[in-house]
Amino acid sequence: MKNITNLIYAIIVFGAASTSYAATISYQGTISPPFSSGIGSGSTGGQSWVDGDGATDFWSTVTGSVGGDSWIEGIAEETDFWSFAVGPGGTSLDIWALRDDESSGLDTVFSIYSGITTADESEFSSFDDSGEVINFGGIAFSEFADDQIPNNEGPFGDPAIYNMAFDEGIYTIAIGGFASDGEGPFSYELSIGTPGTAPVPIPGAFLFFATGLLGFVSVRKCK
């Protein structure tokens, strides 16, 4: 009888401990309107929003740090979550992330979801057994980005989406490491801007070729 009582007590204590240590997904913050007074601002769900009125070349940048394999392994505490909101009528945006140190081993990726979540960290899962990025915590997957921006200094590219259309609503960005060279933490910069603001660096090989070609043309002109 005593053993049964102890077992029940242990289960109760363990359950209470598990509950007390359960952590919900924590957002780093809200990415505010990147777009200066030329775009306008308002309120959707208590957060700032932007409307697409045709202005360009405005963006906002936030910073953070993540684990080297946090996104692919679904480690919420080493993945950063940011929210942003889009106002009535929707808009199109560029979203991109750059590692702070171009030579670092961070393989940055991010996924975008409709809505925000208060789910437990254990519910974060980036993709299913078939390799498809999935919904989690009551929010719906919209887009995934990885290696769109070439990086001349490191082993991996940086993620970006270009001119993506967003309906009115609140969105979540989950950013982390995919298959990085090292455990981290690694620092990054995440930006949201009007279409045309995301960088598209020219690959090093092309720069080398272009430089050589210019030199050849110069020599021909001198002759």
CA distances from 112 to 96, 117, 128 (A): 11, 12, 16
Q: Which residue do the tokens 């719906």 mark?
A: 140
Residue 35 forms part of a structural domain: yes
Q: Which residues are 92's β-sheet partners? A: 165
Residue 151 forms part of a structural domain: yes
Q: What is the DSSP secondary structure assignment for residue 217, as one 8-state letter? A: H
pLDDT above 90 as % of the chain: 39
Buried b / exposed e over 6-27, threshold 16 CB at 10 Å, is eeeeeeeeeeeeeeeeeeebee
HEC profile for 70-83?
CCCCCCHHHCEEEE
Residue 152 forms part of a structural domain: yes
pLDDT of 27 above 50: yes
The sign of the torsion formed by the CA atoms of 67, 71, 72, 76 equals: positive
Residue 220 forms part of a structural domain: no
Q: What's the CATH code of the domain at 127?
A: 2.60.120.380
Supply the pTM of this predicted model: 0.72
Q: What is the DSSP secondary structure assignment for residue 121, as one 8-state letter? A: G
Residue 204 forms part of a structural domain: no
pLDDT of 35 above 70: no
CA distances from 20 to 13, 14, 117 (A): 10, 10, 19
Q: Are 105 and 182 in contact (CB under 8 A)?
A: yes
Angle in degrees, CA 115, 85, 75, rounded to 5? 50
pLDDT tens track for 73-119: 999 999 999 999 888 888 888 999 998 877 678 899 999 999 999 99
Residue 101 forms part of a structural domain: yes
Domain count, the chain: 1
Do you know the residue count of the chain? 223
pLDDT tens track for 159-180: 999 999 999 899 999 999 998 8
Query: How high is the mean pLDDT of the chain?
Result: 74
Q: What is the average pLDDT across 56-79?
A: 87
Residue 219 forms part of a structural domain: no
Model pLDDT, residue 40: 37
Report residue 182's pLDDT band, with 50, 70 and 90 as the boundaries. confident
Residue 221 forms part of a structural domain: no
**Domain extent at residue 108:** 24-196
